[in-house]
Structure 1
Amino acid sequence: MSYTPKVAVVILNWNGVKYLRQFLPSVLSSIYPNLEIIVGDNASTDGSVEFIKNEYPSVRIIQNDDNYGFTGGYNKVLEHVDADYYILLNSDVEVFPGWIAPVINLMESDPLIAAAAPKIRAFNQKSHFEHAGAAGGFIDSYGYPFCQGRMFYEVEEDKGQYLQSGEVFWATGAAMFVKKHCWHEAGGFDDRFFAHMEEIDLCWRLKNMGYRVMYCAESEVFHLGGGTLNVENPFKTYLNFRNNLLLLQNNLPFWRAVFVITIRIWMDLLALIRFLSEGKRKDAWAVSRAHQNFVLSLFKPSKKNKKLNVPKKYPLKGIYKGSLVWTFFVKKKRHFTELDPTDFL
């Protein structure tokens, strides 16, 4: 009799009882023979824990004593979870009964596959991909993340153009499958990120260690998005700009990081000017704060990546060698399928 890996779906919650009420039933309908459903709670005050205890007593609850964000929250919760695979699932994701097995089967096919994600489509526009993950994540040579199915603000309709599973650069944290031993070997999330781009940092770290990250086209979920921080929130702007710089600092060789970060800071200043021209002063200030915080962070680099500061022996598949900004805004190539495959590592 073959062994069935144990899988733990872990939903991190902070004052999201309305999302648990709407989406948790679909997660509980998941069909997989060795499965545990867990909600990790970041000290919610909206009755989330009481709701789960009363309505879904079979769901295990792990409670944190404070709101540690997405990164710290998961780091603390997963210390108490025993499974072969973790599935980090946002509370605003709708799933279907058979969504788990295709991804696990893909990951079981190769011991070097550390993380993977299903296809992510938009809950409110189900014909289209969802911004946060679409059909697998990539990154350009200047640190701009994008996806099959989403480049900057351009989100594609799913017309079957990404039906092939394959290696990508990063898997979205909205529905990330990761092998337990890989998670712990890499040290989990970098707590400094709090939220946003932490999954890209983790995947980059895993790739630097010689592991692979995959997109599984045979599984799909629907993500509402913006459940905690909507796109108009200046704090989200701050996190995106600050964390993108941390991402480069953490994972690039030193002199390459100096070069790329210098360019990115100037490009970010252009974004700041654009925000001001559009009357978005809070977003402009968020960019400035992001730069200030990043400079301060240079004096306390991440401990997680120190042990990985060695010559990289592995090809980091999924990097676009050009500039996505130039390709998108100047050359007007708005879809992933328009990019030249030879321009990727």
Structure 2
Amino acid sequence: MPLFSIVVLTYNRKEVLAELLQQLDGLTSPVVEVVVVDNCSTDGTEEFVRASFPAFTLVRPPENMGAVGRNRGMAVARGRFVITIDDDILGLDATAIERIGSMFAVDSRLGAVCFRVIDHYSGLVCNWCHPRDPGTYAEFSFETNEITEGAVAFRKEVLDQVGLYPDEFFISHEGADLAARIIDRGYEIRYTPQVTVSHKYAQNARPGWRRYYYDTRNDFWLAIRNYRPLFIMLHLVRRLPATFIYAVRDGFLHYWVKAVGDALLHLPEMMKQRRPISRETHLKLRLLNKEKPGLGFYLKRRLFARRVKI
């Protein structure tokens, strides 16, 4: 039985995947297994992995599941600790894995560890979703209420208790949904710079409609699935105007409108999945969010930055 399972999600990026798998091939041992989730690639990824890395477990869902395709790999992972990374995340080595194991060993209430992610080309911190200013806190460890889905480690028994990402989300906010459930079960999520990986973005990063649609739709579903009535209203009042402004700014308003319509259309399905977190968890989330930087930080980062990397 392996101690660690490394789950890699990939879709039509065989070249960068090859670089990552070469790195991970040196880590495989009786205590480390690698699971590759091929999200229905059409570039020969499946054949490449089977031929070049036969020791790895290959999972191929019947359709592209988006970011929540990780669920298929996490479900078959046998390790006590499950590490999930994207196909363009590099630098996970034996030292990093040892540090991850040590962090879980000393704190039985640690449910997940988020890694520091730096841009492969600039060396700057990227993929930051935590409720603190990266300019000040990127070099420090702290408790967070977010999950960097493509660079994180979980205690497997925690996933067994709270479940995985919601399949319906496809992409966006699936990490916040899982984080709320982990915290509600009494576990902590921590960010640490002791484990640092690099994100090798494609140079032609793909802006498009997906974030504008899925961010908006899943804001509704995240709130309905997890929050109490007052916090549903507070969440949507805070989030929907922001996504509306971004959509108008970048010419994707019709996708914002469609997202709102689809969110409401499928509201009965989300209501069936509704499991509100406790008042204590709501209080903890609010306390963690009080550490968020001021309005100026977000204006500079989002309003005046054109579009998004996906």
Q: What band does the TM-score fall into relative to the shorter chain?
A: 0.7 to 0.9
CA distance in 2, matches of 1:196, 1:83: 26
CA distance in 2, matches of 1:256, 1:302: 15
- Contact 2:219/2:236 (8 A) holds in 1: no
| Alpha carbons of structure 1 residues 101 and 82: separation in structure 2 relative to 1, 3 Å | same
**Which residues of 2 match residues 1-345 of structure 1 at below 5 A?**
6-30=3-27, 34-71=31-68, 73-97=69-93, 98-126=95-123, 128-130=124-126, 132-133=127-128, 137-138=130-131, 148-149=133-134, 156=135, 162-225=138-201, 230=205, 232-273=207-248, 275=249, 280-281=250-251, 283-301=252-270, 304-306=273-275, 309=276, 311-314=278-281, 315-316=283-284, 319-321=288-290, 326-328=295-297
| Alpha carbons of structure 1 residues 168 and 290: separation in structure 2 relative to 1, 3 Å | same
- Contact 1:119/1:217 (8 A) holds in 2: yes
Secondary structure, aligned partner of 2:139: coil
- Normalized per residue, which structure has more helix? 2
| Alpha carbons of structure 1 residues 231 and 287: separation in structure 2 relative to 1, 3 Å | farther
RMSD of aligned Cα (Å): 2.9
* Residue-by-residue CA offset, 1:12-67 (whole Å, 9 max, x unaligned): 22222122122221222348871111112222221111111222222221222221
- Contact 1:250/1:305 (8 A) holds in 2: yes
* TM-score (structure 1 length as normaliser): 0.77
* Residue-by-residue CA offset, 1:291-330 (whole Å, 9 max, x unaligned): 2222223222165542xx2533345256323886734367
Q: Which runs of 5+ in 2 are unaligned?
A: 303-310
Secondary structure, aligned partner of 1:300: helix
Shift of 1:94: 0.6
- Fraction of identical pairs, as percent: 20
- Contact 2:133/2:293 (8 A) holds in 1: no
| Alpha carbons of structure 1 residues 216 and 305: separation in structure 2 relative to 1, 3 Å | farther
- Contact 1:23/1:94 (8 A) holds in 2: yes
* TM-score (structure 2 length as normaliser): 0.84
Secondary structure, aligned partner of 2:270: coil
Secondary structure, aligned partner of 2:280: coil
- Contact 1:103/1:216 (8 A) holds in 2: no
Shift of 1:96: 4.2
The runs of at least 4 aligned residues of structure 1 exceeding 6 Å deviation read: none
- Contact 2:2/2:33 (8 A) holds in 1: no
- Contact 1:114/1:182 (8 A) holds in 2: yes
| Alpha carbons of structure 1 residues 304 and 124: separation in structure 2 relative to 1, 3 Å | farther
The number of equivalent residue pairs is: 299
Equivalent position of 1:340 in the other structure:
none
Moved more, 190-199 or 295-304: 295-304
- Contact 2:224/2:274 (8 A) holds in 1: no
Q: Which runs of 5+ in 1 are unaligned?
A: 139-146, 150-155, 335-345
State the one-letter code of the partner of 2:147. A
CA distance in 2, matches of 1:290, 1:299: 16
